[in-house]
Homo-oligomer: A and B are copies of this chain.
Amino acid sequence: MKTLAKSLSTDEFEGLFQRVCNWGVWGDDDARGTLNYIRPDSVRKAAALVRSGRTISMAVPMNKVAGPDNPHPVAHYMVQAFDVDSALGEPGFSLDYIAGEIHGDCHTHVDALCHVAYKGKLYNGKPASYVTTRGPQVQDITAYAHGIAGRGVLLDIPRLRGVKWLEPGEAVTAEELEQCEQAQGVRMEEGDILVFRTGHHRRRLELGPWNNGYDGEGKAGLHATAIPLLHERKVAAFFPDGDGEAVPSNVDGVAYPIHALQIAAMGMVCADSLNLEDIAAACAEERRWEFFVMAAPLRLTGGTGSYFNPIAIL
């Protein structure tokens, strides 16, 4: 079942961009974007969803092995093991070191709004030139320092379709998102965290890693026309198992339209490369597709994103 939705022209994309644009909605200097949809009350209500108290990580293990989807693996070394005495006697300590790029298809992370520019503009119309080699002057990841907590709604597209995963290039439309809501008896509301499953990680586990970029096989994601639905519903955050993009894109001349719409236009909290296998199994088991989500980026001043480990609590 390949998507049947036709490609968009650049003009149609511009229209979409304007339609979902949140610039100025929360003030000209806002850096939290759709996180503004989450108010303390939303957190309170989301916490009330906790029934069993079971916690489930939605992160993939950080990947230290180079591969077709991991050209810059994380470097991880011991700084000290117990083969040396502690300088001050007992006890001894082991220590380690980690180094790597924040964004990558092989470790779960969340993007800062400064991560994406479209036609020279960041979210809220700030000039892209605000991001230099010294880092971003606006919209770094500390805008989310106090965490991303709220109601998670899982839309499990492979389950809807009765397949193990969506194949690279397939794109999910607004209609299919709504069918999935109906099938699962759940509905995205203001302030929700959309947990969007294409089966990307499952495919990787079963078939091995693949190059999911333009010079490779591509990946499954959203059709650009699905974005207005997220906008209307005031979805606060987007937690996909790929990165939300269908590659190749369904917009002429725009390689990553979902990032442009979600981040540059809407100021949406977007995560990347989650592992949704465990939460999908748990939801199917408990037959409910809503849960409490708690996720927190590192407090990394100047970060264009952050590694993180988002947790679902059922």
Using a CB–CB distance below 8 Å, which chain A residues touch chain B?
39-45, 47-48, 50-57, 59-62, 64-67, 70-73, 75-84, 86, 88-103, 108, 114-120, 128-129, 131-136, 142, 145-147, 149, 214, 253-256, 259-260, 264, 292, 294-305, 307-311, 313
Contacts and interface: CB of A to CB of B under 8 A. Distances in A.
A118 B146 contact: no
B133 A79 contact: yes
Given A65-B71, A81-B132, A298-B62, A56 B100 contact: no
A2 B179 CA distance: 65
A75 B229 CA distance: 40
A135 B96 contact: yes
15 contacts: A47-B292, A62-B300, A66-B67, A71-B73, A78-B78, A82-B117, A90-B254, A91-B118, A91-B259, A94-B304, A95-B115, A96-B101, A96-B304, A294-B296, A308-B309
Contacts of A311: 146-147, 149, 294, 296
Given A94-B115, A95-B101, A95-B115, 15 more contacts: A43-B55, A65-B71, A77-B133, A78-B132, A78-B133, A79-B133, A82-B120, A82-B129, A91-B255, A92-B118, A94-B136, A96-B102, A96-B305, A97-B102, A99-B100
Contacts of A301: 61-62, 64
Nearest to A116: B91
